[in-house]
Chains A and B, each alone.
Chain A
Amino acid sequence: MEFARRESPYWSARVAVPSLMLQVLAALAPAALAHVWFFGPGFIFNLLVASLFAVAGEAMMVHLRKRPLEVALTDYSALVTAALLAFALPSLTPWWVTATGALFAVVVAKHLYGGLGFNIFNPAMAGYVVILVAFPMHLNLWIAPRIGDIDYQYLTVLQTLKFTLTGSLPEALGFDAVSRATPLDVMKTGLSNARTVSEIRANPIMGDFGGRGWEWIGNFLAIGGFWLLIKKIIRWHIPAAVGAGLLIPATIMYLVEPGTNPSPGFHMFGGAAILCAFFIATDPVSAATSPKGRLIFGFGVGLLIYCIRTWGSYADGVAFAVIIMNVAVPAIDYVTRPHIVGHPRRGDSS
C-alpha cells in the first residue's frame, strides 16, 4: 500500500492565532459594555470606524504586498488593534481622527515594518501617538461618566453619531459644556496649581480609587485580563511587572509625601494602566520574548508610566511608555537569553 509523505511531527497544534485574537476581543467585551454604559454610544462609533479603517488598511497593504488576503484578514489582529485604539479614544472623536490613527497603526506601524510578527511598535499605541501629535485637542473631548454630576447634559445617540460623522456639536452646546477633564487631567492640573491630593479628590468625578466610571471599566478590564491569564493566552510576567513598575514608585512616593502624590490605587485605576498591563503591553509581537525579558519590559513600561504621569507634560503615559520600551526590546532580548541546557553557564570558569 502506498502512503503520502510529510514532515514530523505528525500531531496537531491545539491553538491557533485567530482564536487567540478572538479571545482577546472577547476579554475586552465586558469592559466595552461598561464603557458604553458610562460614556455613551461614542465608543461603539469609534470602534466601528477604527475597525473599518484598520481592516481596509490591512486589506490594502496585504494586496499591495501580494500576500494571501484571506489569511491576513482572518487572523483578526487588525480588529484587536482597532479595539485597543477605540479604548484609548474619548467617546466623542470625529471619524477622521480615529481613521488616521487606525490607518497609521495598520499601514505604517504594522505593514511597513513587515506585517504581523515583524512590527517593532505596538500598532495601536503608534496610532494613538500619531493622533496625540496631530489632533491633540480631540483627545480632550472626554465626557462625564453617567454617574454622579447631575449638572451635566448627556448627548443623545444621534447627537453623538452626528459628532462622530461631522465633528460638530448641537448648536446650543459648546465644547466646554460637553467635555470633562479626565481624572488624571484633574489631578495633574490640580497638583500644578499647588493643591493637595485630598483637595483634588473632592472633585465629583473622582471615585473610590480613580475616577468614577473609569474604575469600573478598569475592573472589567481586569476581569478580562485574568480570564486571558487563566486561558493561558497571556502570561503573568508582563501584567505583574507593569503593576510593579507603576505601583512600587507610586507607593514609595505616596508614603513619603501623601499630600502631593496620588495613592497607588489612583495610579492603578485612574487611567489606562490596567488596559496597558493586560492588553497593550502583552502584545507578544512588540514585547520582549523570554520570561525574564518580559519582567524587565513590563517593569519598564510601568515605571515610565509613573514617570510620565508625575514629571512629564502628559496626563497619562501609557502610549509613550509602551513605544519607548518597544525600542528597548531587542536589547532586552539579547541580555535575557536563557541558559541553553548543556552549555557552560555564564560566569563559569570552564
Chain B
Amino acid sequence: MSAPTYDLGKLHGGLRLPGHKEKSTTGPIQNVPIPSQLILPITQHVGDPAQPVVGIGEHVLKGQLVAKPEGALGAPVHASSSGTVVAIEPWPVSRRFGEKGPCVVIECDGEDRPLEFEQAAEDYASLPPETLLARILEGGIVGLGGAVFPTAQKLMQARTCEIDYLILNGVECEPYISCDDLLMRERPAAILSGAQVLMHALQIDACYIVVESDKPEALNLLGVALAELDDDRLVLKQVPTIYPSGGEDQLVQLVTNREVPSGGLPSDVGCLVQNVGTAAAIHDWIINREPLISRVTTVTGDGISNPMNVRARIGTTIADVVEFTGGYSERAEHLIIGGPLTGKSVTTDRVPLVKATNSILVVFKSSFQGDELACIRCGDCASVCPIQLLPQQLFWYACADNEDKLRQFGLLDCIECGCCDLVCPSHIPLTADFRIAKGRIRELADEKARAERARHRFEARNERLEREREDRDAELARQKESAKKAGPAEIAEILKRKQQQSEDD
C-alpha cells in the first residue's frame, strides 16, 4: 500500500473537537428502500434555479431528467426512482436561505425501472476535456461536501486558470459527520477512478487525496486501493484532526501552503478542490452511467436511536430516512441538516434529503450553552480563528454597526466555521451576529447601488430637461431672428397662415 505523506502548510487556529463519529461508523452503509413519495427540489445547487421539464401526471423512469438548468450556473435534477409526477409545488426545504422551494413530487411505483442511458461507447480518456465537462454537467453532479456548487462549471472555471493540483477532500473535519469516512472505506476504487476522470477533465497530472488522521481505516483502505491502481499521479496525504481544516480554502492552505486570496477561489492559486463523494459520483456517472440520484448521509446525534450511515435516494424525506434507521430517541429536540457547527436547523422532518445533505443530526437542547454575558476581550476567539480575524473587535463593530471597520477587519472573509463561538467564555453567539452583520453589509451595498441608480436617473432627467430647454430657447431665438429679418411680404404670409389656423379651430 502507499503510505500517506505528512508535509503540510500552516493553518492558523482551529480546534481539536471530540469527533462523536464512533456511533455512526460501527456498521456498513445501509440502503434506504424506495419511499412512497419523492420530493425533488428543482434547485439543489448554487446558482440559477433549474426548470421542470415534466408535467403533472407524467410517468418518469429512474434517472430521467425532471428539471434542466437554465442560465450560466446550474445543474439538472433527475428522478431518483420510477413513478408518476403528482405535483409541482412549494415544499419545505433545508436550503440555507428561505424555507420553501418549488419541488417535483413523484409518487413512486416501487418498480425502480431505470432509464437506459446509452453506454459510453468510447473510453472517457479519448474524449476531449470539453466533451467530458459537458457530460459531467448532464449527470447533475454538484459538490457533495455541502456547498453544492455545480461541478462542471467549477471545472470549466478552473480550465481558464493554471491549475497545478486537484485536491480530493476527504477531511470531513466537522464532528458527528462520517459519510465520507464510510464512503472512503467502502468505495476507495470509485473515488480514485473519479479522481482520474477529474484529472483528465482538467488536463493535469497531480492529485492529492487528503484525509484526516482520525480515519485510520479509510487511510489504510485508500492506500491499498492506490497500490492496486498503481497511478503515481495520485498521492495520499494525512492531515491532523483539526476543525475546520476541511474548509476548501483552509485545505488548500494546509496542503499546498498557498493562501487563497480574499474574495478569490482556490483556482487563483492553482488548486481545485473536490469532495471525495463528488469524485465517486463522477465515477458512477461517467463510467457506470448512473446520474446523481442518491447519496450517503450520516444519521446521528443524541436524538437518534441507531446512529448509522445510509445511502438514500435524493428526495426521500428526512422522516422516511430516520424511520428506516429506527426512529428518534426521546432526546430529539433539534433537527439539524449538516454538522453541529455549520448545519442548518430546520423545524420539520418533512424536508427532503437533497444533494447537499451530508448529515442528519438530531440533538438535545441541554447540550447548548448558557446565557450571553459581556465580552471580556479574552482573545480566545482570535486565537482559534482560521482566518486570523479578531472576532472580539468584529463583535464590537457589529454592535456599533460600523460598516467601514467591519470591512477593514475582514468580516466578509469570515467563513462562519463557529470556532469563536465554541471558545467564547461569555457565550456570545458570534457566528450568528456576524451572519447578521454580513447581511446588513450586503443590504447597505444594495441600498447604495439603488441610491446610485436613482441618482443617475435623476441626473439624466435633469440633463434631459436642461437640453430640452436649451433646444427650445435656441428654436425661439432662431424664430425671433428670422422674424426680424422677414420683409413685409413674409409677415403678411405669416398673418394669413395664423388667421387660417384660427378659422380652422
Residues in chain A within 8 A of chain B (CB atoms): 1-17, 19-20, 71, 75, 77, 115-118, 235, 284-285, 287, 289-291, 294, 333, 337-344
Interface residue tally on B, bucketed by range: 35 or more
A12 to B302, CA, bound (A): 14
Query: How far, in Å, is B270 (CB) from chain A's closest CB?
Result: 15
Cβ proximity bits B51-83 to A, threshold 8 Å, 1 near / 0 not: 000000000000000000000000000000000
A-B CB contact pairs (8 Å), 24 listed: A1-B335, A2-B348, A3-B333, A3-B346, A8-B340, A8-B342, A8-B345, A9-B342, A10-B340, A11-B341, A11-B422, A13-B422, A20-B378, A75-B373, A117-B374, A117-B426, A284-B378, A285-B376, A289-B393, A291-B383, A341-B249, A341-B387, A341-B413, A342-B260
Within 8 Å of chain A (Cβ to Cβ): is B371?
A: yes
Verify B333–A1 contact, CB threshold 8 A.
no
Determine the residue in chain A with the shortest Cβ distance to B335. Answer: A3
Cβ proximity bits B422-458 to A, threshold 8 Å, 1 near / 0 not: 1111110101100100000000000000000000000
Verify B262–A343 contact, CB threshold 8 A.
yes
Within 8 Å of chain A (Cβ to Cβ): is B31?
A: no
Determine the residue in chain B with the shortest Cβ distance to A234. Answer: B378
Verify B390–A338 contact, CB threshold 8 A.
yes
A116 to B390, CA, bound (A): 19
- For B253, the chain A residues whose CB sits under 8 A away are 341
Verify A342–B387 contact, CB threshold 8 A.
yes
- Given A285-B377, A290-B390, also A16-B348 (CB < 8 A): no
- B-side binding surface: helix, strand, loop or mixed? loop
Verify A8–B262 contact, CB threshold 8 A.
no
Verify A333–B393 contact, CB threshold 8 A.
yes
Verify B409–A17 contact, CB threshold 8 A.
no
- For B389, the chain A residues whose CB sits under 8 A away are 340
Verify A9–B422 contact, CB threshold 8 A.
yes
Verify A8–B390 contact, CB threshold 8 A.
no
Within 8 Å of chain A (Cβ to Cβ): is B370?
A: yes
CB within 8 A of A116: which of B340, B341, B374, B392? B374
Verify B388–A339 contact, CB threshold 8 A.
yes
Instruction: Name the 3 nearest CB pairs between A and B, nearest first.
Output: A9-B418, A117-B374, A7-B432
A34 to B503, CA, bound (A): 119
Determine the residue in chain B with the shortest Cβ distance to A68. Answer: B371
Within 8 Å of chain A (Cβ to Cβ): is B402?
A: no
Query: How far, in Å, is A71 (CB) from chain B's closest CB?
Result: 6
CB within 8 A of A3: which of B347, B373, B388, B429? B347
15 more A-B residue pairs beyond the given contacts A7-B431, A289-B377, A339-B388, with a C-beta to C-beta distance below 8 A? A1-B348, A2-B347, A4-B345, A8-B343, A10-B368, A11-B17, A11-B368, A11-B421, A15-B380, A16-B425, A16-B427, A284-B379, A340-B262, A342-B259, A343-B261
- Given A1-B349, A340-B410, A342-B413, also A15-B340 (CB < 8 A): no
Cβ proximity bits B323-358 to A, threshold 8 Å, 1 near / 0 not: 000001000111110001111111111000000000
Query: How far, in Å, is B341 (CB) from chain A's closest CB?
Result: 4
Query: How far, in Å, is A263 (CB) from chain B's closest CB?
Result: 34
- Given A117-B376, A333-B393, also A4-B347 (CB < 8 A): yes
Determine the residue in chain B with the shortest Cβ distance to A67. Answer: B374
Query: How far, in Å, is B329 (CB) from chain A's closest CB?
Result: 12
Determine the residue in chain B with the shortest Cβ distance to A340. Answer: B410
Within 8 Å of chain A (Cβ to Cβ): is B369?
A: yes
Determine the residue in chain A with the shortest Cβ distance to B379. Answer: A289
Determine the residue in chain B with the shortest Cβ distance to A343. Answer: B262
Determine the residue in chain A with the shortest Cβ distance to B338. Answer: A8
- For B41, the chain A residues whose CB sits under 8 A away are none
Within 8 Å of chain A (Cβ to Cβ): is B478?
A: no
Verify B421–A9 contact, CB threshold 8 A.
yes
- For B390, the chain A residues whose CB sits under 8 A away are 289-290, 337-338
A339 to B388, CA, bound (A): 7
A77 to B375, CA, bound (A): 12
- For B377, the chain A residues whose CB sits under 8 A away are 117, 284-285, 287, 289
A116 to B346, CA, bound (A): 35
- For B343, the chain A residues whose CB sits under 8 A away are 8, 10
Verify B333–A4 contact, CB threshold 8 A.
yes
Within 8 Å of chain A (Cβ to Cβ): is B222?
A: no
Within 8 Å of chain A (Cβ to Cβ): is B132?
A: no
Query: How far, in Å, is A276 (CB) from chain B's closest CB?
Result: 18
Within 8 Å of chain A (Cβ to Cβ): is B12?
A: yes
A266 to B374, CA, bound (A): 39
Verify B376–A116 contact, CB threshold 8 A.
yes
Verify A10–B363 contact, CB threshold 8 A.
yes
Verify A10–B361 contact, CB threshold 8 A.
yes
Verify A71–B387 contact, CB threshold 8 A.
no
Determine the residue in chain A with the shortest Cβ distance to B389. Answer: A340
Within 8 Å of chain A (Cβ to Cβ): is B195?
A: no
- Given A284-B376, A340-B410, also A4-B342 (CB < 8 A): no
CB within 8 A of B418: which of A8, A287, A340? A8
Within 8 Å of chain A (Cβ to Cβ): is B484?
A: no
A342 to B422, CA, bound (A): 24
- Given A5-B347, A289-B379, A333-B393, also A10-B336 (CB < 8 A): yes
A20 to B371, CA, bound (A): 15
- For B502, the chain A residues whose CB sits under 8 A away are none
CB within 8 A of A337: which of B319, B387, B409? B409
- For B335, the chain A residues whose CB sits under 8 A away are 1, 3
A294 to B378, CA, bound (A): 11
Verify B345–A6 contact, CB threshold 8 A.
yes
Within 8 Å of chain A (Cβ to Cβ): is B398?
A: no
Verify A338–B431 contact, CB threshold 8 A.
no
Within 8 Å of chain A (Cβ to Cβ): is B496?
A: no
Within 8 Å of chain A (Cβ to Cβ): is B365?
A: yes
- For A340, the chain B residues whose CB sits under 8 A away are 262, 387-389, 409-410, 413
CB within 8 A of A10: which of B334, B380, B427? B334
Considering residues A6, A14, A117, which has the most beta carbons from chain B within 10 angstroms of its beta carbon?
A117
- For B374, the chain A residues whose CB sits under 8 A away are 17, 75, 115-118
A118 to B373, CA, bound (A): 12
- For B409, the chain A residues whose CB sits under 8 A away are 337, 340
Verify A342–B264 contact, CB threshold 8 A.
yes
Determine the residue in chain A with the shortest Cβ distance to B99. Answer: A5
- Given A4-B365, A17-B376, A333-B393, also A10-B345 (CB < 8 A): yes
